[in-house]
Structure 1
Amino acid sequence: MTKTIHILIDDRSESSAITCPHCGRKKTIPNEQLCKSDRPLRVKCSCQNVFALVTNRRRFQRRDVNFTGDMMQCTSHKRLAVIDITSLSVEGIGFRAQDIELQVGDTFTVAFNLDDDSETTIVDEIVVCNINQGTVGAKFMARNGYNPEIDFYLMDEDCKGSFE
């Protein structure tokens, strides 16, 4: 069975480093070459190992999560729905909402708690960017779309030690 590797492609860089899962060799490949297809790329290392490479073009990494939260009207903060948050990044959120019709461009306020030691509360406005098979992708609007609490939450554990 072919192993699948996922990499995040940073649009601010011209190339990305790929590491063979078998031998650990690294190779730098131009992002332009990596982004030619929406399908997984078949890669063959010089050690003869073959693996699939799935690219994800985002400015910030997205992490799968499992939180519940509230979706509210922006002005009155009247609760419209309970949402199941499935993914999180510094700039956006992925969730499922039941019993509510959503359209691209809709704006709401969301509120949820992270599962960190402090159970950090996040309250932010979002705009719906896409809806795919019941999963909603939205961008945070406050603070120019950047949330430092979420950034710290998503940071690798190795890096957090230097800030605590």
Structure 2
Amino acid sequence: MRQVLEKIYVSDEGQATITCPQCGLTRQARVDQYRGRKHTIKVNCSCGIGFPLTLEFRRNYRKRAELQGTYRILSNGGGGGPAKIYDVSRNGIGFTVSGVHSIKVGQRALLDFTLDNRKQSRLQKEVVVRSVDRNRIGCEFNSHQAFDKDLGFYLQP
């Protein structure tokens, strides 16, 4: 039987609260040494069970999504096209593009997309590209933009 990989959120102080899925024992652990890297670790409980978990250092909840939109590069070369948003948080967004692109870390872009909420809210967000992994683009929302109320409601778990 395959174990479910549990995601543990880490506090700003580097503390993680780990609960054993077998016996329910909960303990605090310092995990600062893993910050800055994506990490899956195996934990052994005093009850004898070992289980894997993923440490999540993000500051904000990231919601999985399947939203359609477009992007337009605003700096260093231009370009744009269709985008499929796969996750969104209070501070950023991830999307994929199809085909060949020339998107680079540090570029500014404008994303235009519609939330799949009741109001079908259309948002336009200026972003800065923070990561490029083939066709997966990770962006941070421009910090001088006011927080969007529709996005806030959309992100509620």
Q: Give me the TM-score of the superposition, normalised by structure 2.
A: 0.82
2:19 corresponding residue in structure 1? 19
2:113 corresponding residue in structure 1? 112
1:65 corresponding residue in structure 2? 65
Q: Give me the TM-score of the superposition, normalised by structure 1.
A: 0.78
Corresponding residue SS for 1:149: helix
Q: State the percentage of identical aligned residues.
A: 25
CA separation of 1:42 and 1:69: change in aligned 2, threshold 3 A: same
2:93 corresponding residue in structure 1? 93
In structure 1, stretches of 5+ residues that fail to align are 157-164
CA separation of 1:56 and 1:71: change in aligned 2, threshold 3 A: same
In 2, the alpha carbon distance for the partners of 1:72 and 1:35 equals 32
Aligned residues: 153
Mapped pair 1:56 → 2:56 = yes
In 1, the alpha carbon distance for the partners of 2:43 and 2:105 equals 36
| Letter aligned with residue 149 of structure 1 | D
Shift of 1:146: 4.7
Q: Aligned-pair RMSD on alpha carbons?
A: 2.7
Contact 2:73–2:107, Cα closer than 8 Å, also in 1: no
Mapped pair 1:43 → 2:43 = yes
Contact 1:2–1:50, Cα closer than 8 Å, also in 2: no
Corresponding residue SS for 1:68: strand
Corresponding residue SS for 2:5: strand
1:160 corresponding residue in structure 2? none
CA separation of 1:51 and 1:112: change in aligned 2, threshold 3 A: same
Contact 1:83–1:95, Cα closer than 8 Å, also in 2: yes
Contact 2:72–2:80, Cα closer than 8 Å, also in 1: yes
